[in-house]
Amino acid sequence: MPELQLLRPDHAPALLAFERENRAYFAASVPDRGDDYFRDFEERHSALLAEQAAGYCYFHVLVDPEGEILGRLNLVDVADGAAELGYRIAKRAAGRGLATRAVQELCQRAEGEYGLTPLRAETTLDNPASQAVLTRTGFGVVGETELDGRPGLSYLRRLDSHGSDATNAPNPRR
């Protein structure tokens, strides 16, 4: 069973391999990271770890028993007890429920370990798999957005011991 781990310096080689292997797959549903991301990966990885150490973000990787990264899940823009959730699951691992389980676990950590209550997320309209993951994990649609020029939806999940109060939010697409 894959394990959700807080990002560490030693994850760098496996994370870079994950991003390279899945670049085209990810670009079909989320904005591409660009060539600079790959060229400057070591610097970027160090910067992310510094942001995490300062408490601005919490970066996670989903690691299989052999040490291969199957996904990454991030809580970014941490401020005032809130954060934005983002995640990517490898093409070869998609469709197995890993994203749903990992997002649910990260929501539990966000509340219990990081003291966060609301989490926000966004996804494009042409990414029904991500929409399904967010819905299954207690996020509710709270508005429309645009991501890299593509129409999308904004989601919210309020974390507390009783679950989400955003699941009954009106869907603006209806």
Residue 80 resides in a domain:
yes
pLDDT score at 27: 86
Residue 168 resides in a domain:
no
Residue 173 resides in a domain:
no
Domain span at residue 57?
3-158
pLDDT score at 161: 56
| Structural domain count of the chain | 1
Tokens of 39: 């060229």
* 19: CB partners within 8 A, 6+ apart: 26, 33, 37, 38, 41
How many C-beta atoms lie closer than 10 Å to residue 91's C-beta? 13
Contact (Cβ atoms closer than 8 angstroms) between residue 114 and residue 58: yes
Residue 166 resides in a domain:
no
Sheet holding 140-147, edge to edge: 3-6, 58-63, 69-79, 82-89, 118-124, 150-158, 140-147
Strand partners, 72: 61, 88
Angle (deg, nearest 10), helices 128-136 and 98-112: 50
pLDDT score at 171: 36
Q: C-alpha distances in angstroms, 139 versus 33, 101, 120?
A: 25, 14, 8
How many C-beta atoms lie closer than 10 Å to residue 170's C-beta? 10
Contact (Cβ atoms closer than 8 angstroms) between residue 105 and residue 58: no
Contact (Cβ atoms closer than 8 angstroms) between residue 84 and residue 121: yes
Residue 141 resides in a domain:
yes
- In tens digits, the chain (174 residues) has pLDDT values of 899 999 999 999 999 999 999 999 998 887 788 899 999 999 999 999 999 999 999 999 999 999 999 999 999 999 999 999 999 999 999 999 999 999 999 999 999 999 999 999 999 998 999 999 999 999 999 999 998 888 999 999 999 854 444 443 433 333
Strand partners, 79: 82
CA dihedral (141, 142, 143, 149) positive or negative: negative
State the CATH number of the domain containing residue 23: 3.40.630.30
Length of the chain, in residues? 174
Residue 164 resides in a domain:
no
Residue 167 resides in a domain:
no
Residue 71 resides in a domain:
yes
Contact (Cβ atoms closer than 8 angstroms) between residue 103 and residue 109: no
